[in-house]
Structure 1
Amino acid sequence: MQITHLGHAAALVEVADRRILIDPGNFSAAWHAVTDLDAILVTHQHPDHVDPEHVGALIDNNPQAQVWVEPQVLKAVELPRGEGLAADSTVELGGVTIGAVGGWHAVIHRDIPQIGNVGLVISAEGEPTLFHPGDSLATVPSGIDVLAVPAYGPWAAMKETVDFVRAVGAPQGFPIHDGLLHERGFQLVLGRMNAMTPTEVRDLRDGTPWTPQA
């Protein structure tokens, strides 16, 4: 498995000869020119996870890619094509299994309607298992080797994030959802995750592909 962080929640996962892009949102442009994708996955409808202005071109430029999105995305965002991926469902992509877990976005405020969110568990035989939770800390799947850790959002506090990372218990991880943090804030979160959880959390913001240990 090789993982490239393409800004905020976006990650390119290369595993079992498949190229999978997760959450191409509008806090980053690093994914705009990505091609040769086998799948495009979206955890929920917020624009920092699916950019309504540029996602259509991404899909058009990857005509062979399967597009699986949290079901509410199909009505909220205009896509050239796509299929709903509901919580507790699984799809196969060659030798890769993609499981959707959870179902709901974390509560931002009681006055803001809650929307759907699926966490994504990506696994392949002989490879580490990756969990990208989208915008929710409510679901803790078992057997996770690599965790994409939401570093900051208006829906989470550090105490919740620390407990989530501890509960998942993955040996390795990397921060995502960091688009609202300046450098000092990012380093604060990174330091706390490494000091207070069993997970070795790596900074992947330079865009260099990372190969987690099996």
Structure 2
Amino acid sequence: MKRRRLIRLASAVTVMTLGGVGYAAHRRSSNPYYGGPVSDHFDGTRFFSPGQPQDKDLVELARWQLGGRREIWPSHFPSPFAADTPPERVAGLRVVHIGHASLLIQVAGRNILIDPVYAKRASPIGFAGPRRVNPPGIAFEALPPIDAVLITHNHYDHLDGPTLARLWAEHQPLFVAPLGNDAIIRSYDATIAVETRDWGGTVDLGGIAIHLAPAYHWSARGMNDRRMALWSAYVLTTPHGALYHVGDTGYGDGAIFRTVRDRFGPMRLATLPIGAYEPRWFMQAQHINPEEAVRIAMEVGAAQALGHHWGTFRLTNEGVEQPAMALAAALDAASLPPDRFLALRPGQVWTG
């Protein structure tokens, strides 16, 4: 009985952290976050990625959770890079990995955080769920003045409510998020200023345009709000070139990535997820693997790519170092030099 309770707890945390299944979401017909018009990716209650698979069912979740083949992670996986102390402003382009999917982008005098997570666990509960195995690559107190915070979607490894509330209290940045996520963010502080946009929408940051672009993913904050808030990638058009950031996505047919290049031209930089991809039969629709990440970098014409979403929170089956090793193999297979696509570690700085 104890084992069954632990499995149920692990499954519930997985649903809320990764958005793994949609069986419970269909019990609720109203959307608590968003009430806009029907579109080609919103049916009036739930968002979806046109032409792409959406939900796994409970049987598939149980098959994954009970299937074994999970590599053991160390309790600590410290970064070889010391915690960074960023300059207050940067005229050019500087990127620092905070950990997992959290990045600080300093460009053209602006400081932009993406999916900042400072929690010890990427989980809705404090005593269970994926635990951080290395400290943030920038201490919260060492952050420079933050002008904007971009949220890609509402899973707990990307939207950390207490961190967002603290950022608002200390920096009062502009928050940008896909449709519906404003209600979630403001549940942590009702005064937070959030600009929400649909795919294709743009927010101006004074010399930098923030564009929301499609991703093949989904959303869930609890057991009953499956796909009720939108998810997105971002393109930042800046004086130093176009920057493409994906929080989570599957590869699908690749059309959304080719569209990014068609609309914005070749990317100066692409920051792409490279972890949380095993087992492929379960994860392929929602998380790319390193080989697909290399393919995307090439399709968007990225002069440089940086890999995130690995090595901090254990979400799936692969070992802690496997994404970096798989990325190296994928670059070699594509005849690309290793420094063209770096697997970032917390505190690691890239300038361009």
Per the TM superposition, whether the score is higher than 0.5 is yes
Asked if 1:9 is matched to 2:101, the reply is yes
Q: Which residue in 1 is equivalent to 2:234?
A: 120
- CA gap of 1:121–1:183, structure 2 versus 1, over 3 A, is same
Q: CA RMSD in A?
A: 2.7
The code of the aligned residue for 1:192 comes to A
Q: Which residue in 1 is equivalent to 2:167?
A: 58
Q: Which residue in 1 is equivalent to 2:155?
A: 46
Asked if 1:176 is matched to 2:342, the reply is no
- CA gap of 1:50–1:191, structure 2 versus 1, over 3 A, is same
**Percent same amino acid at aligned positions?**
24
Deviation at 1:117, TM superposition (A): 1.2
Asked if 1:156 is matched to 2:248, the reply is no
Higher relative contact order (CA 8 A, sep 6+): 2
Deviation at 1:157, TM superposition (A): 4.7
Contact 2:101 2:115 in 1 (8 A): yes
Deviation at 1:93, TM superposition (A): 1.0
Structure label with greater radius of gyration? 2
Q: Which residue in 2 is equivalent to 1:187?
A: 324
Secondary structure of the 2:162 match is coil
Deviation at 1:52, TM superposition (A): 1.9
Where in structure 1 are there 5+ consecutive unaligned residues? Answer: none
Distance in 1 (CA, whole Å) between partners of 2:301 and 2:347 is 25
**Bigger mean CA deviation after superposition, 11-20 or 145-154:** 145-154
Where in structure 2 are there 5+ consecutive unaligned residues? Answer: 1-92, 123-131, 277-282
Secondary structure of the 1:210 match is strand
Deviation at 1:12, TM superposition (A): 0.5
Matches within 5 A, 1:87-126: 87-102=199-214, 105=217, 113-114=226-227, 116-125=230-239
Secondary structure of the 1:120 match is strand
Secondary structure of the 2:234 match is strand
Deviation at 1:84, TM superposition (A): 0.9
The code of the aligned residue for 1:72 comes to G
Secondary structure of the 1:87 match is coil
Deviation at 1:182, TM superposition (A): 4.4
The code of the aligned residue for 2:208 comes to V
Higher strand share goes to which structure? 1
- CA gap of 1:73–1:182, structure 2 versus 1, over 3 A, is same
Contact 2:308 2:343 in 1 (8 A): no
Which of 297, 320, 342 aligns to 1:165? It is 297
Contact 1:131 1:147 in 2 (8 A): yes
Q: How many residues get paired? A: 207
Distance in 2 (CA, whole Å) between partners of 1:97 and 1:61 is 24
Secondary structure of the 1:122 match is strand
Which of 62, 66, 71 aligns to 2:179? It is 71
Distance in 2 (CA, whole Å) between partners of 1:18 and 1:131 is 16
Higher helix share goes to which structure? 2
Asked if 1:207 is matched to 2:347, the reply is yes
The code of the aligned residue for 2:103 comes to A
- CA gap of 1:6–1:185, structure 2 versus 1, over 3 A, is same
Matches within 5 A, 1:14-33: 14-25=106-117, 26=119, 27=122, 30=136, 32-33=140-141
Asked if 1:135 is matched to 2:275, the reply is no
The code of the aligned residue for 1:147 comes to A
- CA gap of 1:104–1:74, structure 2 versus 1, over 3 A, is farther
